[in-house]
Structures are given as structure tokens and as C-alpha cells.
Structure 1
Amino acid sequence: MFTARQIERHQLRCVLQVFNRITGHSLGYLGNVSESGLMLLSELPVMVGPDFELQIRVPLKGGGHQFINLTASCVWCQEDETPGHYNSGFMLLQAPRDYDAFVHALQEFFTFRQVSASA
């Protein structure tokens, strides 16, 4: 049975698109991420239970994309506060070795740090 997540997640609203790896169709945007799961923001509800073949396309500086392929199971889906939008939680079943580095890079990039004042 699904229990509440124990790992802090970082908000990434509407920055990176998530695609169905098989069809290439966009499913929505990465909402938040952790080493063991992610939240998808979408305009359609996602079926809870089945496994999904996902792909995150990370833009590269020189052009093109890095493809991060994941297999994940949708464990919950609920309507967002914004009508016509949905949030879905996914538990990772299979991820590439460098997925943890991807998560840490996103957390580092989107984390605001306290700047200490010089005396």
C-alpha cells in the first residue's frame, strides 16, 4: 500500500516536459522530483495503477536534448486547484544510472540559498 513520501521534493512547475516514450506524445510537465518518484502536471487525468514508459527531454546548451527514459507506476491522481488540470504521483520502477545526478542537478539549480552578508 502507498504511504506518504519521506523524501523532500522540489517544485519545478512547467519547466520540463514529460513524454510518453513509446508514442512521443507530451503527457504534461514535471511538477516535482525525488530520487524515487516524480509528480506530473497535466491537462488530462492519468490512470492510477499501470506502468508508464516516460521520457524527460532536457535541453542542452549547444542545442538538442538529453533523453532521460524512466519506467514508473502512477500511484495517485487528483484534480489540481486550477480547473482542468491534474497532478499525478509516479513511483519510479526503472531509471538510468545518472537519474540521481539529474535530480540533484535540478535541486541545486532551483534551490535558493541564503547569502551571508560580509562584515
Structure 2
Amino acid sequence: MHATPKPRSERILEQRQIPRHQLSAFLRVYNSQTDRPFGYIGNVSRLGVMLITPLPVMLQQEYQLMLKLPALNGLGFQPVPLRVHSHWCRQDISPGFYDCGFSIVSNPNTFSDLALMLRGYFSFGQAPDA
């Protein structure tokens, strides 16, 4: 006999320890060793990130990832290395994708600043009245 799993919304509320902000678009994340796509940022906080990946990740592992942000001069991109630790992974509501939670291992202060910038960039403020 199997226990009935709790609804997803209840599980999320139980697991979340710090507030996260949804990004209105997804930013691609790469494996820094192979330069191959790893997934997309689904949401971000100052201490961690949820990635949407095409494959489930192994838990309690460290991953070397990289963001590719537009360069300040507008030419190319600026790589931002991220060393993260995986904590959880579950199937996304979209078939063929997984939601995976990571904490930031390296440069947490730098990532905290980056998280604030990303939230501001992907957030929509109030539109002025026309």
C-alpha cells in the first residue's frame, strides 16, 4: 500500500525556507566544463537557484555551471561561473523537464548581487499611465 503524496503546492510550502522570485523569462545555464546547456533559471533567491533541466540531476552533488550574461560593450557575453550544490529534483509540470533546487557554494555575496540584478531585469514595474 502506498501513501498518497501531498499536493505539489503543499510540498513546496513545506520545503521553501527563503522567499524566491519567479523570473518572467528563463536564462540559460551551461555546464562550465563542456559549455553545453544545462538548463534554465526558473527562479532565484540570494542563496540559491531553481533550474529547469531536461534531465534529473543527482542529489547532494556539486556542479560547475556558468551563466552567459551580455557583455557591457554589447559584443559577446561575460561568463559568470557558479558552483552549486543540488538539494532536490522533481518532475516539472511540463513533460520532459525537471525542477531542481541548488544552493550557491562559491561566491555567495557575488551571487546575491547578481540575484538582485536578475530579479530587477526580469521584473515588470508599473507602467506609467498613457
TM-score greater than 0.5 by the shorter chain: yes
Change beyond 3 A, Cα 1:31–1:94: same
CA offset at residue 60 of structure 1? 2.9
C-alpha separation in 2, matches of 1:107 and 1:11: 8
Change beyond 3 A, Cα 1:112–1:47: same
- Map of 1:64 onto structure 2: 76
SS at match of 2:105: strand
Report which stretch shifted further, 86-95 or 97-106: 97-106
CA offset at residue 97 of structure 1? 4.8
Taking the TM superposition and a 5 Å limit, the aligned residue runs for 1:1-119 are: 4-12=15-23, 14-60=25-71, 62-95=74-107, 97-114=109-126
- The CA RMSD over aligned residues, in Å, is 2.2
8 Å Cα contact 1:28-1:41 kept in structure 2: yes
CA offset at residue 116 of structure 1? 7.9
Between Structure 1 and Structure 2, which shows a larger proportion of helix residues? 2
Q: For residues 85-108 of structure 1, give each alpha carbon's deviation from its aligned partner in whole angstroms, at most 9, with x where no partner exists.
A: 111000111126532221111111
TM-score by length of 1: 0.82
- Map of 2:7 onto structure 1: none
Report which stretch shifted further, 50-59 or 103-112: 103-112
SS at match of 2:113: helix
TM-score by length of 2: 0.76
8 Å Cα contact 1:68-1:99 kept in structure 2: no
Report which stretch shifted further, 97-106 or 50-59: 97-106
Change beyond 3 A, Cα 1:96–1:67: farther
8 Å Cα contact 1:13-1:29 kept in structure 2: no
CA offset at residue 31 of structure 1? 0.8
Give the letter aligned to residue 82 of structure 1.
S
> How many residue pairs align between the two structures?
115
C-alpha separation in 1, matches of 2:123 and 2:34: 33
Q: Identity rate of aligned residues, in percent?
A: 37
